[in-house]
């Protein structure tokens, strides 16, 4: 575990820690015995940390079992049981964004304003640092701002970008980007796509068309679809993910703006309710503040 990485994670989770684990510790200090009132208060803190009702009930059940199993008598030790439960629920996964085999094509989806374009720029920089050749495709052609913003990030990360005019066909951009990726022997092609959830039919058609182009033109590439969610929206992010999952398969979640919210508990909710791995988390504004998600490190930083 890198010291710097952990410190950054810890400071990025300060707001969640204040509203979640610190609150639990304070609450447990007021109890002399482990009773129903204690569980009720614990439940309330978990729900207000945006862990969600379903996931909270599951956590409480598991904590009860753990207390019995470990014959815990002191309220202060409940914290250790909770920590163990959260690590078990999140799994021991440490995610890497660096592809195992290349070429790889990443489709990045998500509604406007969640930090999609910024995340793509940061992923590109991370991969380039890892000696990967990266090309970006500006296939969110619905907004000129999205294309321009991606261009800025391509310059910052020092990678190529394929772009068309605003309003052009996103699948045509992806087609051209695939040809460029083949010609330039790129390792990873990252496609920014539009995220207009209020018009699911259009989104479905658009992603369907893009996927058919990839099938036909770049079948040898490993394909992954990443959904970008904004942690500050808490349980709404979970609902958004469910809606996107109706439209297309999702291989991983990129959770942004964790440093700006006390709702970091949503990570547990996403894992529990959607069973999709959280691949990357954003814990700051800097180009290297998008970190690969390490479940154990995340829980350790919270406690």
Same domain, 109 and 81: no
Domain total of the chain = 2
- pLDDT tens, residue by residue, 7-27: 888 888 888 888 888 899 999
CATH of the domain at 173: 3.40.50.300
Annotated binding site for GTP: 110-117, 192-196, 256-259
Please check whether residue 95 lies inside any domain of the structure. no
- pLDDT tens, residue by residue, 264-296: 888 899 988 898 989 999 988 888 889 899 888
pLDDT the model gives residue 4: 66
What domain range includes position 183?
Answer: 104-298
Whether the predicted pLDDT of 234 surpasses 60:
yes
Which of 23, 56, 90 finishes a domain? 90
Please check whether residue 97 lies inside any domain of the structure. no
- Judge whether 278 and 299 are in contact, CB under 8 Å: no
Annotated binding site: 110-117, 192-196, 256-259
Please check whether residue 108 lies inside any domain of the structure. yes
pLDDT the model gives residue 198: 67
Which of 90, 117, 146 finishes a domain? 90
Whether the predicted pLDDT of 94 surpasses 80:
no
Q: What are phi and psi of 276, to 5 degrees?
A: -115, 135
Q: What average pLDDT does the structure give for the chain?
A: 90
CATH of the domain at 21: 1.20.120.140
Same domain, 141 and 203: yes
């Amino acid at each position: 575990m890198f010291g710097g990485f952990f410190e950054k994670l810890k400071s990025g989770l300060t707001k969640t820690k204040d509203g979640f684990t610190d609150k639990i510790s304070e609450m447990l200090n007021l109890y002399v015995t482990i009773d129903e009132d204690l569980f009720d208060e614990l439940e309330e803190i978990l729900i207000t940390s945006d862990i969600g009702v379903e996931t909270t009930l599951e956590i409480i059940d598991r904590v009860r079992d753990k207390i019995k199993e470990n014959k815990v008598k002191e309220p202060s030790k409940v914290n250790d049981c909770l920590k163990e439960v959260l690590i078990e629920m999140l799994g021991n996964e440490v995610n890497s964004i660096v592809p195992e085999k290349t070429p790889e094509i990443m489709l990045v989806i998500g509604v406007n304003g969640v930090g999609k374009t910024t995340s793509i720029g940061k992923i590109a920089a991370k991969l380039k640092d890892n000696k990967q050749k990266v090309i970006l495709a500006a296939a969110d052609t619905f907004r000129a701002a999205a294309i321009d913003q991606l261009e800025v990030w391509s310059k910052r990360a020092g990678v190529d970008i394929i772009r068309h005019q605003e309003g052009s066909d996103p699948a045509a951009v992806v087609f051209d980007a695939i040809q460029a990726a083949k010609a330039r022997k790129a390792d990873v092609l990252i496609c920014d796509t539009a995220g207009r959830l209020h018009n699911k039919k259009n989104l479905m058609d658009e992603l369907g068309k893009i996927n058919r182009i990839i099938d036909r033109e770049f079948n040898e590439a490993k394909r992954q679809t990443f959904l970008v969610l904004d942690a500050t929206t808490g349980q709404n992010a979970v609902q958004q993910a469910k809606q996107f999952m109706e439209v297309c398969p999702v291989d991983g979640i990129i959770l942004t703006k964790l440093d700006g919210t006390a709702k970091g508990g949503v990570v547990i909710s996403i894992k529990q309710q959607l069973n999709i791995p959280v691949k990357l988390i954003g814990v700051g504004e800097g180009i290297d503040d998008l970190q690969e998600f390490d479940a154990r490190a995340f829980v350790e930083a919270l406690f």
